Amino acid sequence: MLDGHLLLGWLSFTIIVYLLSAPGPTTAYFGLTGNEPLSILPLNSLPEETMGRAHYKLCDRLKLEKKQRRMCRRDPGMADTLRESIIMSALECQHQFRFERWNCTLEGRHRGNILKRGFKETAFLYAISSAGLTHALAKACSAGRMERCTCDEAPDLENRKAWQWGGCGDNFKYANKFVKEFLGKRSNKDLRARVDMHNTNVGMRVIKAGVETTCKCHGVSGSCTVRTCWRQLLPFHEIGKLLKQRYETSFKVGSSTNEATGEGEISTGRSQQQQQQQQQQSLPGLNDQIPRTMDLLHIEDSPSFCKASKYSSGTAGRKCYKDKNCDAICCGRGHNTQSREVTGPCQCQVRWCCYVECKQCTQREEVYTCKG
Amino acid sequence: MAGAIIENMSTKKLVIVGVTLLLFQALAFMVGGLIAPSPTTSVNYMATKCVDASKHREDTKWFMPWGPNLCDKIRSFDEAMAKRIEANNIVFAVHIPMQNMEMSPWFQFMLVILQFDIAFKMHNQIEEGAVVTVDVGLAYRDDMFSEWKEMVHSVEQRKLHCNLSLPKTYENEGRYYDCDHLPFMELGSVAHKYYLLNIRLPVNERKKVNVGIGEIKDIRLISIHQNGGFTKVWFAMKTFLTPSILIIMIWYWRRITLMTRPPVLLEKVIFALGISMTFINMPVEWFSVGFNWTWMLLFGDIRQGIFYSMLLSFWIIFCGEHLMDQTERNRFSVYWKQVGPIVFGSFCLFIFDMCERGVQLTNPFYSIWASDVGTELAMSFIIVAGICACLYFLFLCFMVFQVFRNISGKRTSLPAMSKARRLHYEGLIFRFKFLMLVTLLCAAMTVIFFIISQVNEGHWHWGDHTVQVSSAFFTGIYGMWNLYVFAIMFLYAPSHKRYGDEQSSGQCITGDAGANSGEDIQLTTTITHVDGPTEIYKMSGKEAQE
């Protein structure tokens, strides 16, 4: 079933690509996979002006592609949502990789270089960024920040009629449709572009698989003769965790021809004929197993990220946790131990919001940092 | 032979009637499946966190999550912490419906469910039996520019049922609890276009209000309302069904009054069934479109309850009147044992409904499930009603079993009987078996379609067409029970074939019955007058046996 969908997807891709001759595979996607530096985004909220064309400016600041910019401008709330999705994915990526050698540094140069390759980390970036976008969009819809959400039929009056007659679909459906259009429709000639596309789709699929359906009975005297269900997304933390697991079991796919030509054929190490058949459906891996549609794919092995390189600034000076990850992070170079006194809040009494009562305690803390 | 119409009908006519009813049944399913949208819609809302900057609380101030007069928003509570905003100054605002949409009276009702997103923190965990106190206001307006008018303001308590499926360690900080959704609000009519909810979670350390409820990150609301299209189809169906049942009812009662004898119990019960069906059918809901009648939801429940208890009573009495054990019944009081549980059970459900939906007429935020006492009370009502239902079904099964035992007893002696007596008993058996079959069929259909509509996600795709399974279930089952009542009133109405004979034979038995000290009066009363002579045969047969 899923494979069938995928097959159709690929076919339509090819057709659209031939028709539109879309920008080449090196064009960045969006968010963590876009080529704009993330530092331009202030983390706190922008002035929210829904009047006029203020949101046009915001859309322009995001450095989107032509089509993406058009989609962004269509809704005054979109730019803000896009921005939030970037922040969300970035924070989640850093959270998930806080104990790893690659700590999801999003500094422009390193990230850009990773994106140009086909590492596991690249796969994760693509997946988390599409997942974040889907999640943020669905959330923005339910917060009422968007103008055109669930009932996204063309003319306005029709929408209202549709809503009065039979309600609309749920936010998640809209978000999924939007993200597919926003990130999709790209050349799939090149192996790397296809892997990237696949990983982008994995992000959306993980969100989809995590949708929970909850129901409420409200018939006569609250009986279950009438029951209404709704769908809910998992918290983004959970999504991040699931994607991290996918990252760890990422699947390697190989290429038999010169990558520079950009026309790589996928090699499985198995018979060519079989590969021809499978090629349209999924990207077969090196091993005998065939990656499922939910697996992340990578093309090449990741660098060690130990020393400063094109891809990261290395682990020298990184804080680590003794007996936990110091050996792994410091790449066997050992670590420095620094002992210092830290005065900080402790034994805090927290109320649900906005008020914390803490004592000030002074503690001795050992800080471990990797040797250079 | 006289008796009910069903006995005197030729098989051909019976088949024609059956097929016609089946066609209407199919139509009822199709109306729901193809024309109507799904019965209800749910919309997810995420509350916007607004800041109430005013020092003293004004009740007239309403906070809008978006639009021209939107409030001061904060994104997270860390921001509030940094700005030193107090809990009492944070207002969760939800506008129903979403932007560019409006509500309509066709939505009939609206219920809102509350869900908290609570993050786990080692030093701020949810305490055992934590109760959230929500200070909530509901306002409405009918155009985008006028002022909000307050509808209700209330302080409610809800018990948190949350659990963390992970070990409570520092590593899992920030993960969300798995919380049950809480009933929040129920409106019996949707008379206004826009609604605005402003929710506060006031903290009072001294009174232990909202202390130990964990770190609430977000409030989500889910609103459920009936779809306008479904309401329209439903009303159309009711408007069509009311006259049909009404006409057959009048026809039925005319037939009964045409007879010389007074109506027997079974005939009265069938008539009462017709009345309760008409009561349900009456499309008084049309008024809810024009008037703001919040009690319509409760009224609908009551009407359904009356019909169900009538239907259950009818089954018992029908079985009882076909027992064929020569006991005089024909009085309602004979059935108190069986009807008692029905009345008591439905009374319990009525009280429960009054406690829940009745109170909601004045305070839509009220929920009987919110307090411990209320929950116990509600549970006990439901359990008692359940016990009553079980008791009833035991009685019913026992009675059906008795009837079948008597039928098989009669079967063996049938060939030995005189023609008149045989025909009478055969008629009785046929009538009983026919109703039994139809009833079982209807009940099985109801159960099967109920299960299908529950298992399926509401709709099937059939090529280009989408079949709304749950709508088809509602219209189909509703149509089915209407047709059932219709068929009973039609087929079980007294037949007036050989009406002239009846007069004479009727006179004949009255004399006989008196003479026979009413032993077999049941036969005469339930069924026909013509059976008079059979009594005599029977009596003589009995005497002969002795």
What domains appear along chain A, each with residue ranges and CATH number?
A: 2-152+168-314 (no CATH), 317-372 (3.30.2460.20)
State both tokens at B351: 């009280």
Share the mean pLDDT of chain A.
Answer: 74
Q: Is the pLDDT of residue A319 over 70?
A: yes
Share the mean pLDDT of chain B.
Answer: 83
| Residue B497: predicted pLDDT | 62
Residue B253 to residue B259: CA distance in whole angstroms: 10
| Residue A114: predicted pLDDT | 86
Q: Is the pLDDT of residue B56 over 90?
A: no
| Residue B524: predicted pLDDT | 39
Name the nearest CA neighbour of B28 among B472, B384, B453, B358: B472
A154 touches chain B (CB under 8 A): no
The answer to whether the bond into A42 is cis (omega within 30° of 0) is: no
CB pairs under 8 A, 24+ apart, for B399-403? B399/B316, B399/B319, B399/B320, B399/B323, B399/B338, B400/B319, B400/B436, B402/B319, B402/B323, B402/B325, B403/B319, B403/B322, B403/B323, B403/B324, B403/B432
Give the residue, B143 or A158, on which the prediction is more confident: B143
**Distance of alpha carbon A80 from the chain centroid:** 17
A163 touches chain B (CB under 8 A): yes
The pLDDT of B477-488, averaged and rounded, is: 93
Buried b (16+ CB within 10 A) or exposed e, B467-483: bbbbbbbbbbbbbbbbb
Nearest CA in chain A to B456: A229
Question: pLDDT (tens digit, 9 = 90+) per residue, B140-170?
Answer: 999 888 899 999 999 999 999 998 888 888 8
With cut-offs at 50, 70 and 90, classify the pLDDT of residue A186.
Answer: low
Q: Is the pLDDT of residue A15 over 70?
A: no
Residue B9 to residue A120: CA distance in whole angstroms: 80
| Residue A16: predicted pLDDT | 39
Question: pLDDT (tens digit, 9 = 90+) per residue, B5-27?
Answer: 888 788 898 899 999 999 999 99
With cut-offs at 50, 70 and 90, classify the pLDDT of residue B245.
Answer: very high
Phi, psi of B326 (to 5 degrees): 60, 20
Choose the closest CB to A354 out of B40, B85, B94.
B85
Q: Which residues of B touch A224 (CB under 8 A)?
A: 454
Question: pLDDT (tens digit, 9 = 90+) per residue, A113-139?
Answer: 888 888 899 999 999 999 999 999 998
What angle do helix axes A78-96 and A120-142 make, rounded to 10 degrees? Answer: 140
- Bridge partners of B466, per DSSP, are B461
Percent of chain B, pLDDT > 90? 36
* d(CA A297, nearest CA chain B) in Å: 28
Cβ–Cβ gap A218/B124 under 8 Å: no
Question: pLDDT (tens digit, 9 = 90+) per residue, A70-100?
Answer: 888 888 888 888 888 988 898 899 889 988 8
State both tokens at A202: 């994995």
Residue B42 to residue B193: CA distance in whole angstroms: 17
With cut-offs at 50, 70 and 90, classify the pLDDT of residue B420.
Answer: confident
* d(CA B480, nearest CA chain A) in Å: 16
The pLDDT of B258-277, averaged and rounded, is: 90
With cut-offs at 50, 70 and 90, classify the pLDDT of residue A157.
Answer: low
With cut-offs at 50, 70 and 90, classify the pLDDT of residue B529.
Answer: very low
Diameter of chain B measured on Cα atoms:
104
The pLDDT of A126-155, averaged and rounded, is: 83
- Taking CA atoms, B437 is separated from B335, B390, B479, in Å, by 23, 22, 18
Name the nearest CA neighbour of B524 among B260, B295, B270: B260
Interface test with A, best of B52, B66, B226, B379 (most A CBs within 10 A): B66
Cβ–Cβ gap B229/A165 under 8 Å: yes
The pLDDT of A249-275, averaged and rounded, is: 51
Q: Is the pLDDT of residue B281 over 60?
A: yes
- Taking CA atoms, B231 is separated from A222, A348, B37, B92, B118, in Å, by 19, 54, 9, 32, 37
Residue B177 to residue B338: CA distance in whole angstroms: 48
Average the pLDDT over each of A11-15, A312-316, B193-197, B399-403 and give the range with the smallest value.
A11-15
B471 touches chain A (CB under 8 A): no
Choose the closest CB to B213 out of A159, A163, A352.
A352
- Mind giving me the DSSP string for B319-341? HHHT--SS----SGGGGHHHHHH
- Mind giving me the DSSP string for A294-340? TS-EESSPPP---S--SS---STT-EE-TTTTHHHHTTTS-EEEEEE
| E strand intervals along A18-88 | none
With cut-offs at 50, 70 and 90, classify the pLDDT of residue A35.
Answer: low
Question: pLDDT (tens digit, 9 = 90+) per residue, B292-317?
Answer: 888 888 898 899 999 999 999 999 99
CATH code assigned to B5-39+229-497: 1.20.1070
- Helix, strand, or coil here: B48? strand
* d(CA B474, nearest CA chain A) in Å: 9
Choose the closest CB to A228 out of B75, B224, B301.
B224
Residue A268 to residue B220: CA distance in whole angstroms: 48
Question: For B512, which DSSP code?
Answer: H
| Residue B477: predicted pLDDT | 92
| Residue A53: predicted pLDDT | 63
Beta carbons of A242 and A294 less than 8 angstroms apart? no
Beta carbons of B92 and B50 less than 8 angstroms apart? yes
Diameter of chain A measured on Cα atoms:
71
Residue B35 to residue B228: CA distance in whole angstroms: 12
Phi, psi of B520 (to 5 degrees): -105, 25
Q: Is the pLDDT of residue A275 over 70?
A: no
Beta carbons of B304 and B280 less than 8 angstroms apart? yes
B512 touches chain A (CB under 8 A): no
Q: Which residues of B touch A165 (CB under 8 A)?
A: 37, 227-229
Give the residue, A49 or A368, on which the prediction is more confident: A368
- Bridge partners of B95, per DSSP, are B196
| Residue B545: predicted pLDDT | 40
The pLDDT of A331-357, averaged and rounded, is: 77
Q: Is the pLDDT of residue A159 over 90?
A: no
Q: Which fold has domain B41-226?
A: Jelly Rolls (2.60.120)
Describe chain A by its helix, strand, coil percentages, rounded to 5. Answer: 45, 15, 40
| Residue A187: predicted pLDDT | 61
| Residue A127: predicted pLDDT | 93
Please give the torsion angle defined by the CA atoms of residues B531, B537, B538 and B542, in that order, rounded to the nearest 10 degrees.
170
Phi-psi region at B324: left, alpha or beta (left = phi > 0; alpha = psi -120 to 50): left
Amino acid at B136: V
Q: What value does the CA radius of gyration of chain B take, rounded to a whole number of Å? A: 31
| Residue A49: predicted pLDDT | 45
Q: Which residues of A touch B66 (CB under 8 A)?
A: 50, 144-145
Cβ–Cβ gap B77/A353 under 8 Å: yes
Q: Quickly count helices (H) and strands (E) in chain B.
A: 15, 14
| Residue A344: predicted pLDDT | 77
Question: pLDDT (tens digit, 9 = 90+) per residue, B443-470?
Answer: 898 888 888 877 766 667 776 677 888 8
- Taking CA atoms, B476 is separated from A100, B39, B311, B505, in Å, by 60, 13, 18, 45
Nearest CA in chain A to B356: A221
The pLDDT of A200-210, averaged and rounded, is: 91
State both tokens at A302: 């990741």
Beta carbons of A141 and A150 less than 8 angstroms apart? yes
> In sequence order, which residues have a C-beta less than 8 Å from that of residue A263 and are 6 or more positions away?
A189, A190, A257
The pLDDT of A190-201, averaged and rounded, is: 86
Which residue do the tokens 């993330």 mark? Answer: A38
A1 touches chain B (CB under 8 A): no
Q: What was the ipTM of the complex prediction? A: 0.81
A145 touches chain B (CB under 8 A): yes
Interface test with A, best of B35, B43, B193 (most A CBs within 10 A): B43
Residue B444 to residue B451: CA distance in whole angstroms: 11
Question: pLDDT (tens digit, 9 = 90+) per residue, B82-125?
Answer: 777 888 888 999 998 888 888 999 999 999 999 999 988 887 88
Where do the structural domains in chain B lie, given as residue ranges? 5-39+229-497, 41-226, 499-546
> In sequence order, which residues have a C-beta less than 8 Å from that of residue B237 and are 6 or more positions away?
B28, B31, B475, B478, B479
A324 touches chain B (CB under 8 A): no
* d(CA A237, nearest CA chain B) in Å: 7
- Taking CA atoms, A324 is separated from A279, A315, A329, A369, B17, in Å, by 42, 15, 10, 13, 81
Buried b (16+ CB within 10 A) or exposed e, B216-237: bbbbbbbbbbbbbbbbbbbbeb
Pairing of strands B178-179, B162-163: antiparallel
* d(CA B129, nearest CA chain A) in Å: 16
Q: Is the pLDDT of residue A372 over 80?
A: no
| Residue A56: predicted pLDDT | 77
Cβ–Cβ gap A353/B87 under 8 Å: yes
Average the pLDDT over each of A267-276, A297-306, B172-181 and give the range with the smallest value.
A267-276
| Residue B247: predicted pLDDT | 94
Q: Is the pLDDT of residue B260 over 60?
A: yes
| Residue B324: predicted pLDDT | 74
Highest mean pLDDT among A219-233, B230-244, B329-343, B402-416: B230-244
What part of B 20-39 touches A (C-beta under 8 Å)?
A: 37-39
